[in-house]
Structure 1
């Protein structure tokens, strides 16, 4: 049985809204995922705290738009205590070896990726799916991160295909060809892409019993 394929849509969710749900559904279809996890960040190091609602309120709003079992909201990053994406993803992958993750980010974050903590290490260990955002997509594709990762780019439908020789050992990334409405564009604006870790017991049980682990 193949490993579960899970998209990680992280962010502040301040608040969560229909745009986030639309982005999750676009990713589900384009990447042929088994599920998407809405990762509510306890605090994005690159975002100001002014105007940020309490974590509990943001988590509640994410749960309100979630559509279980394929689109789930989670507070696991807060439980993990990690606030940097590379560390969170490393812990996730270590705890869930039967799951193949893809990090969903906006085009603006591909531009900003070189500012992220250990971004090259993150990209070398995680699939990345980039959603277009008006005013940023062109800059993202011409930016530093895209240049460094250029030979690892794939079509969305080939994100989980066997690695070709020249890219062996390095996860692929893709640009998801999607037309997003205003709410969806806002949903991916400044999304941290941060993901947390899930309780090992529940995940291992679902890995045995179903196609994706519980949040």
Structure 2
């Protein structure tokens, strides 16, 4: 496993504060750049999962993508902070301070050090499509409940390799508000408002 060197950046890599029993969504990504689609997922999952907070984890880089030309972490964190207005949404580059490369490291650390919080992993349907390529993806599913939000062009995501493997633990959308309190594995596929914007398309149009 390749591990990134830890990087502490004051005001950027601080972990948000929280309290016992809080329902906290974890929404990771490179956010290069942040766009309306990201903001829609944040707003909809906060509401439909009945979360107390949502932590946006701006990653140092995606291990499944070419990170050449990726803007500095602090720049991306500040851009997301400028784009959100809901005080329940907290934006951090905390993973860099720990030197984490993979999502399972983040999830394992948070659930072990903050066992009295109710974490939910949030991702777009495009990520579910490739979830089987993630490092230790089965461990992620066994550690935290997961919410997947529909994205344009990802109609086949519910039939993806990981989705099929985890199908027995998929819950109905009407039960999404209880997801944070469920014992993993448990996941929900959320349909709703969508944005055609993508970071890839936005970069291509620059």
Q: TM-score, normalized by length of structure 2?
A: 0.80
For residue 51 of structure 1, report the CA deviation from its aligned partner: 3.3
Quote the offset at 1:187 in angstroms.
6.3
Residue of structure 2 in register with 1:206 after alignment: none
Distance 1:151 1:117, change over 3 A: same
* 2:171 partner SS: coil
What residue number does 1:174 align with? 188
Moved more, 81-90 or 57-66: 57-66
CA change 1:38–1:116 in 2 (3 A) is: same
- Show the counterpart of 1:46: 64
Is contact 1:20–1:188 with CA below 8 Å preserved after alignment? no
Change (3 A) 1:44 1:92: same
1:179-198 to structure 2, matched below 5 A, reads 179-183=193-197, 186=198
Q: Distance in 2 between matches of 1:141 and 1:19?
A: 19
Do structure 1's residue 147 and structure 2's residue 136 form an aligned pair? Answer: no
Higher relative contact order at CA 8 Å, sep ≥6: structure 1 or structure 2?
Answer: 1
Q: Per-residue displacement from partner, 1:115-170 (whole Å, max 9, x unpaired)? A: 11111111111111101112213x2111111111111111323313555xxxxxx3
TM-score normalised by length of structure 1: 0.77
Aligned residues: 180
CA contact 1:38–1:72 (8 Å) conserved in 2: yes
Cα RMSD, aligned residues only: 2.1
Q: 2:149 aligns with which of 95, 107, 131?
A: 131
How far, CA to CA, are the matches of 1:106 and 1:162 in structure 2?
Answer: 20
Q: Structure 1 regions of 5+ residues with no counterpart? A: 164-169, 190-215
* Distance in 1 separating the partners of 2:84 and 2:192: 21
